[in-house]
C-alpha cells in the first residue's frame, strides 16, 4: 500500500496571473494527513480556506481555466499546479495565496514541479486511497468525449484536432508517473490561436499572457517563440486533463481516453469519478451522504442534543464533513444572549465532536461503540455564530485505534473558520 505524502518544508513562488494579470505570491506548506489540497486566501480577512475538489469547482463563472471557490472568494487557474501535485503524488498541502489567481509562470507546470521538489516530498503515516476504475465511465459533448476504462496503471490517450493547419491532428498516449510527467508533460505550455487572442483579451482573459508564457499559433507557426516538443500542444492538453482529474480528490488507476476535451468536459468526468469513488467506499450519494436518521444509527445523540443535520462527506476512520443549519428556533438561543443571539462555543465544539464520532464509529470495527471525551485541546473561537448561519464541520483523524481516537476539527461559516479544536476520545463498547 502507498502512503500519503506532503512536502518537507515550505517554499514560495511569485508571478502574475495569466488571465487576470494580477501580481501574486504563493507559499506551499506541509499539511496533515487526509487534509487534501487547500488554498488559503491570505489577502482576505479570516484567511478563508478552499478545498480543491469537484464540489468547489466554479464551472459557470470562469471559462478556459479551472477555478474553485464559493460565493465570496475564489482561486483561478489551478490546473497546472494540480497536475504537478497529482503527478508527484502529493496528497496533502496548504497553498497560501494573496490574490485571486495562481501565477502563470512560463505557462506550464515545470516551475511548480521544481519548487515542490526543492521543498522535498515526504511520506506520512496514513495509507493513500487510490481509486481503481472497475466499470467504464463515458461522457460526450458534441465532437468531444472522455472515456475511462480499467487499467493496471494511470494512462492517458489524447487526440487533439483543431480547425487549423498546425493543430489538425495530434495524438499522444502516456503512462503518467512522476518521471514521465516531469520530462514529457510538465514543460508543455498553454496555447491559443492568433485569431482568437485579441477577442480573449477583449473578454478580460489573458491579461497576463505574453509570447513568453503562451504559445500563440499563427498561420505559419508559433509567433515569437519556439516549441519545446513537436507535439507540445497535445502534451499541454494532457497536462490540463491531469490537473482537472485531480479534483476528483483521489489518484486513479485507469486508462483515460480523451478526444478534443477541455476543462468543462474534464471536470464532468472528474465528477463522475468522484461519485464512483464515494460508492466504492460504501457511502450513498454525493449530496447528503448521511441524513439525520442515518446519523442517529451511528451515534446515540438525540434532540435536543443532536447538533448535526447531515454528513455530506464521509471517509470512514479518516475524514468527515457535517452541516448544522443554525436557526433562531434552536433551544439554546432562549437563554444565551437572548437580546443578541450567539451560538454557545461549547455547542460548536460538541457539534464538531459529533461529526468526529460519526467518522470514527461508522467503520465496521467500531460500529456500536460509544465515544467519550478524554481531552479537548487547542480550542479557539474566531467569530460568533448567529441564527441564519450554516455551520460546516470538518474533522480529520490524527490517529484512530480500537480503543482511542485523536481528531482535529474545524467549524466554518461562509468558508471562514469560526472555531477549531483537537479531541481525544475513548472508544468503548456500548
Q: Let me know if 263 is a catalytic residue.
A: yes
Residue 234 cell numbers, joined: 497535445
364 φ, ψ (degrees, to nearest 5): -60, -40
Q: What DSSP state is assigned to residue 190?
A: P
Residue 103 cell numbers, joined: 501565477
What element of type H or E holds 38?
strand 37-41
Catalytic-role residue among 19, 80, 131, 263: 263
Name which of 398, 418, 382 is nearest 92 in CA terms.
Answer: 398
Angle between helices 79-88 and 232-245 (to 10 degrees): 80
* ∠ Cα 132 134 140 (to 5°): 100
- β-sheet bridge partners, residue 94: 29, 38
For residue 380, how many other CB atoms are within 10 A of its CB? 11
- Burial environment of residue 368 by CB neighbours within 10 A (0 to 12, 13 to 18, 19 or more): exposed
- Burial environment of residue 329 by CB neighbours within 10 A (0 to 12, 13 to 18, 19 or more): exposed
Active site residues: 263, 336
Amino acid at each position: 500500500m502507498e502512503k500519503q505524502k506532503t512536502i518537507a518544508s515550505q517554499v514560495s513562488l511569485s508571478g502574475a496571473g495569466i488571465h487576470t494579470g494580477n501580481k501574486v505570491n504563493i507559499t506551499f506548506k506541509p499539511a496533515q494527513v487526509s487534509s487534501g489540497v487547500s488554498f488559503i486566501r491570505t489577502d482576505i480577512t479570516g484567511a478563508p480556506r478552499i478545498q480543491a475538489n469537484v464540489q468547489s469547482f466554479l464551472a459557470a463563472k470562469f471559462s478556459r481555466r479551472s477555478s474553485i471557490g464559493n460565493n465570496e472568494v475564489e482561486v483561478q487557474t489551478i490546473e497546472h499546479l494540480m497536475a504537478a501535485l497529482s503527478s508527484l503524488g502529493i496528497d496533502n498541502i496548504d497553498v497560501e495565496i494573496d490574490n485571486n489567481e495562481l501565477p502563470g509562470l512560463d505557462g506550464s507546470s515545470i516551475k511548480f514541479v521544481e519548487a515542490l521538489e526543492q521543498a522535498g516530498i515526504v511520506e506520512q503515516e496514513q495509507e493513500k486511497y487510490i481509486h481503481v476504475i472497475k466499470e467504464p465511465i463515458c461522457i460526450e459533448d458534441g465532437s468531444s468525449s472522455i472515456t475511462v476504462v480499467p487499467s493496471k496503471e494511470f494512462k492517458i490517450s489524447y487526440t487533439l484536432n483543431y480547425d487549423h493547419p498546425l493543430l489538425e491532428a495530434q495524438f499522444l498516449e502516456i503512462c503518467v508517473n512522476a518521471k514521465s510527467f516531469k520530462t514529457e508533460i510538465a514543460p508543455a505550455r498553454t496555447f491559443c490561436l492568433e485569431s482568437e487572442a485579441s477577442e480573449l483579451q477583449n473578454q478580460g482573459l489573458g491579461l497576463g499572457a505574453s509570447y513568453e508564457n503562451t504559445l500563440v499559433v499563427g498561420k505559419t507557426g508559433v509567433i515569437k517563440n519556439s516549441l519545446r516538443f513537436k507535439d507540445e500542444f497535445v502534451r499541454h492538453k494532457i497536462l490540463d486533463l491531469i490537473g482537472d482529474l485531480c479534483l476528483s480528490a483521489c489518484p486513479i488507476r485507469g486508462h483515460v481516453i480523451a478526444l478534443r476535451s477541455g476543462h468543462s468536459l474534464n471536470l464532468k468526468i472528474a465528477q463522475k469519478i468522484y461519485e464512483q469513488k464515494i460508492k466504492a467506499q460504501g457511502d450513498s450519494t454525493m449530496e447528503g451522504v448521511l441524513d439525520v436518521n442515518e446519523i442517529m444509527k451511528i451515534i446515540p445523540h438525540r434532540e435536543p442534543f443532536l447538533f448535526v443535520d447531515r454528513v455530506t462527506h464521509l471517509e470512514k476512520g479518516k475524514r468527515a464533513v457535517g452541516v448544522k443549519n443554525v436557526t433562531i428556533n434552536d433551544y439554546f438561543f432562549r437563554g444565551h444572549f437572548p437580546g443578541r443571539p450567539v451560538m454557545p462555543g461549547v455547542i460548536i465544539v460538541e457539534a464538531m465532536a459529533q461529526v468526529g464520532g460519526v467518522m470514527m464509529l461508522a467503520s465496521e470495527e467500531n460500529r456500536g461503540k460509544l465515544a467519550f471525551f478524554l481531552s479537548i485541546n487547542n480550542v479557539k473561537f474566531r467569530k460568533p455564530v448567529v441564527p441564519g448561519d450554516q455551520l460546516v464541520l470538518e474533522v480529520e483523524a490524527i490517529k484512530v485505534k480500537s480503543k482511542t481516537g485523536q481528531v482535529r476539527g474545524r467549524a466554518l461559516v461562509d468558508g471562514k473558520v469560526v472555531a477549531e479544536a483537537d479531541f481525544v476520545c475513548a472508544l468503548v463498547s456500548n
